Amino acid sequence: MLPMLAALVVAAAPLPAAAQMSPAAADASVRKVTASAKYKKAAAALDAGHDRWVADTITLTEIPAPPFKEAARAKAYLEMFKARGLSDVEIDETGNVLGLRKGTAAGPLLIVSAHLDTVFPEGTDVKVRREGDTLHAPGVGDDSSGLATQLALIDAMNAAGIATKSDLLFVGTVGEEGLGDLRGVRHLFNGGKYKGRAKAFISLDGGGMDSMVSGGAGSKRYRATFKGPGGHSYGAFGLVNPMGALAGTVAELYAIPVPASPKTTYSASVVGGGTSVNAIPEEVWLEVDMRSESAAELTKLEQAFLAGAERAVAAENGARSTREGKVSVEMKPIGDRPAGQTPESAELVRLAGAAWKAEGLTLGLDSASTDANIPMSLGIPAATLSRVARGGRAHAPDEWIGIEKADNVKLKRMALATILALAGMR
């Protein structure tokens, strides 16, 4: 889940000297990779494998993976990992698909991932329609093309006989979208068998040629349930109405001032409740999403929202009769994504910038909410690289991606150079 956002401005604690890298050192490291015969063979394999990438994208898109129901796609992805010779291939306790490409030396591993789930509910038509160099379907970009890109990178390394010093752990995660609340990557870093082993994390998500995500926008999500005595809309007119408190809460939310930088946002997103048009509801509910690049600003926003809801409830109870009972509100957290950042001086960020520079491009740094939030919040260098060169309408039924060969192969070359420089190509 990755909209393109404004330039990252979040402050972060400095990395230890060993984890930092100068631009000159990054350029030298990437040049060493891209000048090698094996890299050139891998780049040729990416070019030759373009049609397979398109086919894998279509295959994966057409396997439904609605929220919390990723199992069918996970099973198919497991077989794709096995077919590419990864070792220790498995589906873990939370549903992530894992596959290891062993390195030549013991030590920390580099994790590369894409997410299995989509935002679309069960029953959505996910048949892909191709029109020239464009594919159309719900989820075709987010993140089916990311899963296929991960496979293409493995294919290229295999074709070139590339070895790396570090182990490479490839992952298809569950629960990246919506109420999944990053459950797959949380388990990977907080309870899985590879806990504590990662030196860095790269997610393949989002689209575009000119930027990557090095900052994690945190989020807080609530379901606010408002209850009251209810009654006949005519006969009980004048009693307190939970709908009034809900409406007041939305008005309070939209009156909260937030900074443009660090980018901080809110949305009253989903509502429900009531029983009949001629009845004062006994219960109504509201779901709210709040985000910020800054953990401190997110906390301020959360506190302001909660206080505003209490004021709205008090205002409703003060404005109408409470002879049958008062309106109350229950706040239930339904999502909590930590904010984080990988500094510009980090080895991962420098190497990615050098890889883009080697292809004649300048890499911008953005902020968004992705699987990379979790390792960032733990102080592990993490970033999200684009999965596809061109696309649009993510999270909408008319989602699409461009499958032009030149730019998409270039994007994969840059991701491959970043991964090989970071993992230590042998």
71-116 pLDDT, tens digit per residue, is 999 999 999 999 999 999 999 999 999 999 999 987 789 999 999 9
**Boundary residue ending a domain (337, 357, 381):** 337
Mean pLDDT of all residues in 144-171: 98
Residue 329 placed within a domain: yes
275 with 363, same domain: the answer is no
185 with 74, same domain: the answer is yes
Residue 104 placed within a domain: yes
Residue 219 contacts residue 369 (beta carbons within 8 Å): yes
Q: Identify the residue with better confidence: 170 or 4.
A: 170
302-311 pLDDT, tens digit per residue, is 999 999 999 9
**Backbone φ and ψ of 130, nearest 5°:** -105, 130
The mean predicted confidence, pLDDT, of the chain is 94
Tokens 């050139």 belong to which residue? Answer: 40
Copy the structure tokens of residue 374.
């979790």
62 with 96, same domain: the answer is yes
Q: What is the distance between the alpha carbons of residues 168 and 145, in angstroms, rounded to a whole number?
A: 20
**Boundary residue ending a domain (279, 302, 337):** 337
pLDDT band at 3 (very low <50, low <70, confident <90, very high): very low
Give the number of domains in the chain. 2
293 with 147, same domain: the answer is no
Residue 7 placed within a domain: no
Residue 8 has pLDDT above 80, yes or no: no
Residue 89 is part of which domain span?
17-216+340-423
Give the domain CATH number at 247.
Answer: 3.30.70.360
**Boundary residue ending a domain (305, 337, 369):** 337
Residue 170 placed within a domain: yes
Give the domain CATH number at 26.
Answer: 3.40.630.10
303 with 392, same domain: the answer is no
119 with 244, same domain: the answer is no
Residue 3 placed within a domain: no
**Backbone φ and ψ of 345, nearest 5°:** -80, -5
Residue 242 contacts residue 286 (beta carbons within 8 Å): no
63 with 183, same domain: the answer is yes
Handedness of CA 377, 382, 383, 387 (dihedral sign): negative
Residue 261 has pLDDT above 60, yes or no: yes
